[in-house]
Amino acid sequence: MTEQDISTSSFQAFLFADPAAHSLSPRMHRAAFAHAGLPGTYEAIRVPPAGLAMAVQGLRYPHLLGANISLPHKESVVALMDDLTPAARAIGAVNTVIQQGGRLIGDNTDAPGLLADLTTAGYVGEGRSAVVLGAGGAARAAVYALQVGLNHDVFVLNRTRERAEELAAAWPDATGSAVAVRPEEVPWPQVGLLINATSAGLDAPDDTPLDAAYLSLLPSHALVYDMVYRPAETRVMREARAAGLRAENGLGMLAQQARLAFFGWTGRDVPVSVFLNALDAGIPVEAR
């Protein structure tokens, strides 16, 4: 798409998810279109699994930029793509579809979005050892980002041990390593980063994926990063702070993955602050 095309026509992008109504993506991308001075629109559409192929096929029309893909479609949409970026291929999940001349390219901006937000949070790879809690889609993006992107040694902890083992074996040729462990097997004093990529606490706020006693074994420079962003301070974050550690939620990752998707569609690198300011999660940006 040329610069002239994009500035003289109206373009559309979508979210395909089920459910979709709760999504914060429309407000972020609409703000990005406005900031970039582009006549674009963004709609969140509830697409049940049976409707995914037809919805994706519709993205081939001219003037459609593409779509974000969220639960439960991130993995099933892979087979509907004409091509995949290296990250999407390696992770086996697509969160962004980019239309280029009628072809659909599947990208994954969760992993680079996480890395971008870790950098913002001041993480510089302390110790090169990290713990990832969880083994679902978000954990997969996190382990890929850390093991392959940052050359880290990653300890994967998950409620269902078999899923952690499967995830830890996903990238055997990476220079960093990954191993499934129980909490008591982690060398906690060597770990510089702990990422919660579970959905524990989402429905029951008092649920936690990790006994707080383990947090106090982390070194004082360690960063605890919770991919969850509602509430703004999760139980894991609260307990990490009580142990004297830095803790961040996943709001910045959400904004960064959106920024990267918008860049893929339009070629415009809109500042992440535009996406953050558009989020209405009850977290003042200046308080982050």
Count the site residues for ligand NAP by CB under 6 A.
26
Q: State yes or no: residue 265 binds ligand NAP (CB under 6 A).
A: no
CA 74 to centroid of chain Cα atoms? 11
Q: Which is nearer to ligand NAP, 39 or 205 (CB)?
A: 205
Q: State yes or no: residue 112 binds ligand NAP (CB under 6 A).
A: no
CA-CA distance, 156 to 84, in Å (whole number)?
26
Q: State yes or no: residue 56 binds ligand NAP (CB under 6 A).
A: no
Q: State yes or no: residue 207 binds ligand NAP (CB under 6 A).
A: yes
CA-CA distance, 41 to 71, in Å (whole number)?
22
Q: Which stretch binds ligand NAP (CB under 6 A): 26-34, 60-68, 100-108, 221-229?
A: 221-229
Window 123-142: residues binding ligand NAP (CB under 6 A): 134-139
User: Crossing angle of helices 251-266/25-36, nearest 10°?
Assistant: 50
CA-CA distance, 268 to 55, in Å (whole number)?
25
Q: Which two tokens stand for residue 69?
A: 């893909």
Q: State yes or no: residue 143 binds ligand NAP (CB under 6 A).
A: no
Shortest distance in whole angstroms from residue 4 CB to ligand NAP: 33
- Is 74 marked active-site? yes
Q: Which is nearer to ligand NAP, 56 or 254 (CB)?
A: 254
Alpha helices in 186-283 (DSSP H): 212-215, 235-242, 251-266, 272-278
CA-CA distance, 143 to 133, in Å (whole number)?
10
Q: State yes or no: residue 160 binds ligand NAP (CB under 6 A).
A: yes
Q: How many residues does the chain have?
A: 288
- Contact (CB, 8 A) for 239 and 215: yes
Name the catalytic one among 29, 74, 140, 235. 74
Residues found near ligand NAP in the complex (CB under 6 A): 71, 110, 134-139, 158-160, 163, 197-200, 202, 207, 209, 227-229, 250, 253-254, 257
Q: Which are the catalytic amino acids?
A: 74
